[in-house]
Chains A and B, each alone.
Chain A
Amino acid sequence: MSILRFTKDHEWVRVEGDEAVIGITDYAQTQLGDIVYVELPEPGKRIEQGKEAAVVESVKAASEVYAPVSGEVTGANAALADDPAKVNADPMGDGWFFKVKLANAKELDGLMDEAAYQKLVEGLG
């Protein structure tokens, strides 16, 4: 049974057991435009909730991606190096960024569920 949560900075995290997969939302990829490059964290790196974990670049912009949860990076989406367009095409699936071994499941409580995130996006117009 996987849990899907969102941050106000438009990151998503999908948790199954203690493994969390993280990426950016459809709203984020639309705002950024064509993604040209993603700078991903290396396996083994410890990331902290709310701190910068990755960088996503489009032609005219670069955006920090903040970690929705804390933990140790267990893997990153190598396919994005050759095909960053996956982030635009399938941001919640093939366009995932990196995986983390969850340090503290309680951190998920502070994040939005899908309904709350949808409301946030609608409010942005």
Chain B
Amino acid sequence: MRYLSLTDADRRAMLAAIGASSVEELYRDVPKAALLDRPLDLPRGLSELEVTRELEKLAAKNIPAGSVPSFLGCGAYRHHVPAAVDYLVQRGEFLTSYTPYQPEIAQGTLQALFEYQTQVALITGMEVANASLYDGATAAAEGVMMANRLTRRTKAVLAGNLHPHYAETIATYARFNGFEVAARPPDPSGNDDPAALIDGETSCVVAQNPGFFGHLRDLAPLAEACHKAGALLVVVVTEPVSLGLVRPPGAMGADIVAGEGAALGNGLNFGGPYLGLFATRDKYVRQVPGRLAGATHDAEGRRGFVLTLSAREQHIRREKATSNICTNSGLCALAFAIHMALLGEEGFTRLAALNHAKARALAQKFAGVPGVKMLNDSFFNEFTLELSRPAAPIVDKLAAKRILGGVPASRFWPQLPNLLLVAATETNTEDEMDAFAGALREALR
């Protein structure tokens, strides 16, 4: 078998050195009844060619978003990832290395993480960022638990503009970790103010910007309301490209930022693996979950990087750790860092401007369509349309015509059947927008 290096002669020689007559003898500590004596009822091994054929067949049953007009957002955005990114992350030294616990031979990973942490801090406007968490939703849950620890309170308020998967994830963690959640109902108007729910037992408010329905809001007044009550503001960002054009959470008074970074450097991948961005203030760093890369010097005085403040983590602190997280999203963070390095200040800000321009152009296309009402007075690259009829069947109809025309809000909340969430990025062309608008017009006739 192509991945196994031992020959039968090797195996015989090794068994002789061990003093065993068969590999089965080495399993003598396993109760006989539990040892399987024949292969399980699963397919036999296949060559590369055979595996490729099988999996290509499965892949062919899916419609890749890039092969059709596609306008989907809701926390996952299709951007053009430069070719160099995927080439670099596949270098064996990056792809096949482990967590950098032996820093002397892991300076590649550690320097890249240090750069990534810096990039995340810069774009969010915060002081310090960690080396990644699993995704935006678990990052938000970890942010709430961190706020609980810092304030010694146990009630989190969730704004009505928060991504429903994030709200649900926080609610699950709340149920089992023993804290409370007060969630505002979904807010397509973008006007709901969660400040009214803040009291002396609130640990934090979690609000998203741009909001789930696309609206942009100045969160500074909310930050002030939180701080006045001794609570923290956790801001969620699901589209990192927005930070190239929109006022960042750090400039609005956020204490913790939890975000989804996969849109940069990583593909859509049907929702995973994604990338949890996590940033906060320096004074809270000892309560941060997950790994942190730091700078130092080696025995010869050369600058180098190491994982640090490890006493927060599970392998040292065990049941008192700031989080149980071990494996994070390292390679996705590397991809993010490379994409950001290629973009630079000019590229990142221009990419953001382009996305916004595309969304404005798309919004214009719907302006004259009967039965379509735009709900947003502000947006970055995503907004909400209210249709004269239920959106889900229309989306299915469009999909049958090979147009991926947004996500119906009813997928999350059955009580919002006529709302359609639509996103545009730099990858969308005018022809695609015309096709979408035309098909929508047709479907609403």
A124 within 8 A of B: no
Residues of B contacting A57 with CB < 8 Å?
A: 311
Q: In whole Å, how far is A4's beta carbon from the nearest beta carbon of chain B?
A: 29
Interchain CB contact under 8 A, B286 and A62: no
Interface residues of B in 274-317 (CB under 8 A from A): 286, 310-311, 316-317
Return the CB mask of A45-86 against B: 1 if under 8 Å, else 0. Answer: 000000000000111111000000000000000000000000
| Cα distance A104–B316 in the bound complex, in angstroms | 35
Interchain CB contact under 8 A, A37 and B286: yes
Interface range for A: under 10
Interchain CB contact under 8 A, B310 and A60: yes
Residues of B contacting A62 with CB < 8 Å?
A: 311, 316-317, 320
Q: In whole Å, how far is B73's beta carbon from the nearest beta carbon of chain A?
A: 42
Q: In whole Å, how far is B293's beta carbon from the nearest beta carbon of chain A?
A: 15
Q: Which residues of A are at the interface with B, using a C-beta cutoff of 8 A?
A: 36-37, 57-62
Residues of A contacting B316 with CB < 8 Å?
A: 60-62
| Cα distance A37–B311 in the bound complex, in angstroms | 10
* Other A-B pairs, 5, CB within 8 Å; known A37-B311, A59-B310: A36-B311, A60-B310, A60-B311, A62-B316, A62-B317
A-B interface pairs (CB < 8 A), number: 16
| Cα distance A36–B311 in the bound complex, in angstroms | 10
Judged by DSSP, the binding face of A is: strand
| Cα distance A62–B317 in the bound complex, in angstroms | 6
Name 16 A/B residue pairs within 8 A (Cβ), A-sorted.
Answer: A36-B311, A37-B286, A37-B311, A57-B311, A58-B311, A59-B310, A59-B311, A60-B310, A60-B311, A60-B316, A61-B311, A61-B316, A62-B311, A62-B316, A62-B317, A62-B320
Return the CB mask of B349-376 against A: 1 if under 8 Å, else 0. Answer: 0000000000000000000000000000
B313: nearest chain-A partner, CB-CB = A62
Which A-B residue pairs are the 7 nearest by beta carbons?
A62-B311, A57-B311, A62-B317, A62-B316, A61-B316, A60-B316, A59-B310
Interface residues of B in 304-337 (CB under 8 A from A): 310-311, 316-317, 320
Among A59, A60, A61, A62: residue with most chain B CB under 10 A: A62
| Cα distance A37–B310 in the bound complex, in angstroms | 11
| Cα distance A58–B311 in the bound complex, in angstroms | 8
Residues of B contacting A58 with CB < 8 Å?
A: 311
| Cα distance A51–B316 in the bound complex, in angstroms | 21
Q: In whole Å, how far is A24's beta carbon from the nearest beta carbon of chain B?
A: 16
